[in-house]
Amino acid sequence: KAGVTQTPRYLIKTRGQQVTLSCSPISGHRSVSWYQQTPGQGLQFLFEYFSETQRNKGNFPGRFSGRQFSNSRSEMNVSTLELGDSALYLCASSRSKVGSGRNDEQFFGPGTRLTVL
Amino acid sequence: KQEVTQIPAALSVPEGENLVLNCSFTDSAIYNLQWFRQDPGKGLTSLLLIQSSQREQTSGRLNASLDKSSGRSTLYIAASQPGDSATYLCAVLTQGGSEKLVFGKGTKLTVNP
């Protein structure tokens, strides 16, 4: 059974540009969550999507957005990139919505390493 | 606001030693607690998940305990091996309308041959 896949694995952008990252969940999983990992702040929750709807959102500016498609694949977009957006972006999927108490264990992908110059 | 703390930040041990990693959290309103392993530059591998109603979980050489009332969890690794070298992260799944994993900063473990 294939795990969570994320594309691209590495990205280099310059300040002011925008970027789109993609996440394909494990087959049968309907919830996708996104996290940002930096050396200073550690892992921080960005948002969760379930059945194409954003359920929860972390404390990030509006430049960070996402969406989920009918096949559960998800994308996140960061507009007007800043140097501080350089990070490892991790996606996680679960069969059910997070916090449902059943089948909500999250499985993580390998991440996308974004470097902003 | 939920905060998760992991002590120590780094740990170096000789091969074969038994060791304990510590995790503490400030708010007991959690659904579950997970321990993850992260190798350099890689994603997270789930090691153990303990539901809030459980006290411990075991998988092979790993044993994790949870004391929700005191806000503490420990990960016990028996007979450590060089392949166990990685960063170990603890995360709690918060309750209260905004369900999300809140992570500690991790413990970087080095097992020396």
Percentage of chain A lying above the pLDDT 70 cut: 97
Q: Check pLDDT > 90 for residue A103.
A: no
- Mean pLDDT estimate for chain A: 93
Looking at residue A99, what is its pLDDT?
78
The distance of B52 to chain A (nearest Cα, Å) reads 10
A vs B, Cβ pairs < 8 A, gives 58
Average pLDDT over residues B10-35: 95
Q: Residue B98: which pLDDT band, with cuts at 50, 70 and 90? A: confident
Q: Check pLDDT > 80 for residue A17.
A: yes
- For B80-105, letters b (16+ CB in 10 Å) and e give beeebbbbbbbbbbbeeeebbbbbbb
Q: Which residues of A touch B101 (CB under 8 A)?
A: 33, 35, 43, 45, 92, 98, 106
The sign of the torsion formed by the CA atoms of A110, A116, B2, B6 equals: positive
Q: Check pLDDT > 90 for residue B113.
A: yes
Q: Which two tokens stand for residue B67?
A: 């004391």
Q: Verify whether the Cβ–Cβ distance A113 to B45 is below 8 Å.
A: no
Average pLDDT over residues A29-58: 94
Looking at residue A100, what is its pLDDT?
76
Low-confidence winner among A104-108, B73-77, B81-85 (lowest mean pLDDT):
A104-108
Task: Identify the CA nearest to B75 among candidates B1, B6, B3, B4.
Answer: B6
Looking at residue B78, what is its pLDDT?
97
Q: Which residues of B touch A54 (CB under 8 A)?
A: none
What SS3 string covers B31-89? EEEEEEEECCCCCEEEEEEEECCCCEEEECCEEEEEECCCCEEEEEECCCCHHHCEEEE
Q: Cα separation of B73 and B62, whole Å?
A: 13
